[in-house]
Amino acid sequence: MTDLSIILASGSAIRRQIMDGAGLDYQVVVKPVDEAAIKAAMLAEGSRLRDIADALAEAKSRRVSMAQPGLVIGADQIMVFENALYDKPKTMDEARARLLKLRGKTHHLMGAVVICENGAPVWRHMAKTELTMRDFSDAFLDDYLKLEGEDILSSVGAYKFEGRGAQLFSEVKGDFFSILGLSLLPVLDYLRTRGAILS
């Protein structure tokens, strides 16, 4: 094994839970990037939506990697529904409207992970997951929103799939960890190839 340190360039609680659950020894270093400006510029240029997630993940990773030695993991996820890109809801009313729009329909999450070293990307991974919401009742939705509260505003889809949010769905296609926002298994594989964790 090498002495390469592992750094997570994300303030996301669920990404930390994923890394902790895998037993990784890592540190968290977050340097803000202007996500809105990156998205706006890429949309104006007509970029593919999946490329936006990749660019955001790289920007987060690269920013930290320029000042921090080791393997820096940046991740981002976007939601695509009916060919439109969605950001995290800002209010509970917006979250409710989002879930009503998704009810009974299929949407996609596109997640990117980029690992940088010495300020440059050395590895990247894209994952696309397909999620179909069931035709849940208004009563269920009211109960769900009351129980979950503003925690769901940290999720682009207004749900936490790892918890009660699983009850919103009838079918999912894709990797569980990718749905949560970090494609863990490919990341672990790369860390092993670099000798950062035991193979």
Structure-token match 């809105």, residue found = 36
Indicate the helix (H) or strand (E) that contains 132. Answer: strand 120-133
| Alpha-carbon separation of residue 173 from 14, 51, 109, 124, 127 (angstroms) | 20, 21, 10, 21, 11
Calpha distance 39→12 (Å, rounded): 19
Active site residues: 76
Q: Look up tokens 């769900």; give the residue.
A: 144
- Residues 6 or more apart whose CB falls under 8 angstroms from that of 180 comprise 14, 15, 18, 161, 162
